[in-house]
Chain A
């Protein structure tokens, strides 16, 4: 080949390299914030020249700082270990105990089940447990962590080979190890080594997830024997107790499905025990006559057969305990801590018996192909169970069965009953239930006090229950005081649960003989019923009603026990009551119209008249009579059928599904909306101001429409700056509910005096370490929940993240939701108060908790746009109540302060046929007007990018645009990365130029976002001298170098080619 050809070819190669380098560089810049997070680099730094009045608003506790004010990573990790241990110990629920627990000091125990070696600590996707962890055998037998050799794992697919591989959640650990006081047992090394060996092929991980065709992957006895045929020889030495761990994971994006289990495992459902799991239990029985089962799952596993098995001596539910939570489990097993948790979900004998299970999974409209034009709008679920979610179904049906009403003893919905529906057969363990190692006497300390006050049209009514708890046993322990209520029900009237949790409290650690009076204040608005047919007399329908009549309240060991106590007070036939009943634990009171008016709660705490806002949530609103919702008037006749192949005939319904919500106006007069006024007020001056402070109007008027629109368009993780008010683009938001997902040495706040340096030996500690949300809820301990929020608030200071996309706050509609591990409970009161405490705790350190997913994310299947249909009563009393409690946070309101959560993330799902993101009823009328929410309300990632106008005018404040950054440079309002708009509009800085409503909405969104940020620890960094400094990174240098070198070489080869060509010509 002639030189001319070589130079020409090389010039072509370098042209290609140059072009690719430019493209790669441009792409990297567009996603620089995400690249930085992934690689631990930093592209820009927020710098404040004047160091006066910075880092003085929120600071970590002194005990987590060194003497020079820098962060003490060792102390922080130790505090996390201690708190996770406490979380697990208080959340663990003792379900059964034949006296075997606590185990004797120095016991020699054997562990069975592969999850005893590879426990489920977090989720494969979503809320992971990251970094070094303490395994069960370590917690039982060791006194020192071994993080260097025990790092949690997760599965991922190698896209090059297609192979699923197990990978560590952090790149090794060379930091500190920590001493702990373990249980002091010895653990059978033969069994642990067998399971360790077996997991080389099983590929279990500590962060795992469900699947549509699930296989728990429990090795068979033959496989165990194949590893070590003599394994049973070890039983004699380690036979003081046999502990079996049964695991079922939960994770984002995947559900369990009805019947979704691999064939041949000996189980019909994914949460039922398989043959190999039963065999592992049988081995445990061979090993010891003291058999303990640990249920390592955030979901309700079907353990009815274990409850009834006399050879199973104890059962503990331990949830997904997090990285260090096994210490708490060991505390329970060894008796260092007496169990005090209560189940956050009912454990049915068969999960399929829940009415919600008749309609979960993958449902598509029969005629979707012919009438649906919008993406992710072809799936639905009919939530025909109405308000009867979780224990509300089982307990209400039980109550009606006792009273012989509503055909409750029919056969519809029977799965475990022999003939007529039988509570005892259908339910293994009830909601709120949990045992202890000690005993308590509980009694009302005086009459419960009902207090009613009015402020204008707003009624506040509370009932305060003072319950004296006395430890009558031999060991110290805590006791939750769960207050339940029952409102008067008229057959055929508005649906009401026969029992519902209203609030709860918990004692401190009571020594034997010690007493404590726990005061639990119940907000009576939560026993009111939402009647969506109520005629308000002003042309609107639907509001909260409090029917006059006899109201019953009771405490008890869970909902069932409390209901039994009410039954006793009502003198219902004791022979038919299942379980204990004590009338003295219940309390009845007449609520007359004079005391609290029937419609007293029809005006919200903000003074807004409550009426239907979600009519379109109900399928029957569009196509009347096609759906029958479960009613206690006739359990037999209304038990849900599966609504498959629903056909869309209503044009209004079809239009909603196709995204026809809002058309951006182009010719409205917008002159009343002030933008771009000259002014000196700067954002840093807004720290801690009330939402209604008049300075906000001044500040907002200084902004340009384009700046406000940027804020609304790009809601995180990087949030754009606005030059007019002195803010700069900042990385502000991250996941997740169990810790901030940023390494300790990769803080986004590089100027903070307490920063952990990059060379700190513990620098790659990742703060996502805590246990699953149900474990927190199961503690029934408001103080612990607040403490968790505080700690994650502290983490946010160390990682520079002022807004947390968490915790999860949806309802466990059923046990099969893959995301149950991220959400607290099936009960909105328990969820709401838990989240409220967490959020208030986090705020103390300037962290804005933004719970997700508001609302109705009732399954992960088809989560991107699935349409859940339900009654508005169900929506408000079950799904929304948890959010309402957290946002209203009346417990923390003072004369001066309206406390509450200041953030949320909107659900991918719809409500009825309407996207939650565009539902003005949900986002504005209920959230902002009724509950008084003020703050940051972001969509889920890239959700509804095709509905720009509708989303930004609904009340949602901004889009989650994870990955995008470089605002005003690479990422602009003309970004083509937003999908084409359903309404035909084109996103630009001028798109709202002629739309007064949209401009007002964008302005209000800017107000809300800035208000939330002004309440956060971001304000630590701001003053008049704050600005951004661009930094170089190795990846930026690399592509710069690639561009430079390839450009030079292209030019060089081009010149050589031309010279060679010229020579060629001359030679010719």
Chain B
């Protein structure tokens, strides 16, 4: 365990970093003791990722000082960081798909020994910390959890004194999270400090000795997570009283609006997932959640539902009884099925185009923005204006390009574009991914309102907490198959976690459900 009286391992003083007009880090300062598990807590866009990239030498601060074991240091590059004993596990893994585990690890180690010796060390380190790995496998054959192991083992091989972990649990099942925490505690006991970035409060309470809270690029608080409540930390993080969502009182009809029966789709992508026999039904006014760890077929499923991939057998997907699976996205939209894909920029919108032009992507037929093959620019503009107004999108107007909007505002615009078309069915993927709390609440509220009006909604999300809040029923996708649907009110976290890890059958949910937020 850590000891407050020792020389701090890492001290930050007045670290500032600007990107053009945006101040990502503003006079940030805190210290991390030896063996301390230090949480860096904040919403998306609070400046966490920028700060750790500065510590790891990927970015350079504009101002401020870094002290390492009591000495001033300039961390000019990741090489320098590793020399000092700083290791980092990235949120979006810095791995090379077509290369082996061994090569990937060798690339992240300076003065790597010859590959045979390195392979032996990988095996021994991964055994010691309970992170089994085969050095000769290529990365694209590994699961997301295994990929994270590669990153962690890569750091551990260099005997780090400080390990930075950027949102490590967002890609793991609850059980995998538990195993990761065992490893991290072991490291902490051995004297390795851990800088743990997250916005998941329950995890931080469970694992961390100390928390620094960031908001808008500044330090807004320091606390001991053990004594704080999740709610008090959340308020510190968001900077406002948490608003309780208004749960709708609408009724769900028995007659299903969307019926998916036995959807099977082999992937044509080398890293893709085959969908196998997926069936579910969503009633009018119902919100149906699909949970699962990233990379288990969510993208393939949403693309098949939205019509980006066309299926052979038309009745695989039925909307109000009408077979639509053979239609492309445009035709399905004309029949009442709208969708919001996970990736905002480049998939749901074209970054270089104006908001008015971006409405044409999905609303040209339903909202009369095109007539006989010609664009009705005035209508497109006024529709964009309506979205901006009704969804309080912060934008200079319909002629602003999508690229100039912040992530949260662009997401509100995209959700607004689909919701205002009053679809019969809405497929929405990661509705609040990377969005601040206010925007997330607005989006959830809009979904509730839409459901109330009788729309059948499918929400695909990796954020289990979100699904537990918004959905009436949910199912778990694992390796391309979908579990039977559970009623959200009755499902336990453990049960869902088992399904996420691929354990079907639902036996033995022994009650110890740790409650979310």
- Real binding pair: no
The interface of chain B, by Cβ under 8 A from chain A, is none
The interface of chain A, by Cβ under 8 A from chain B, is none
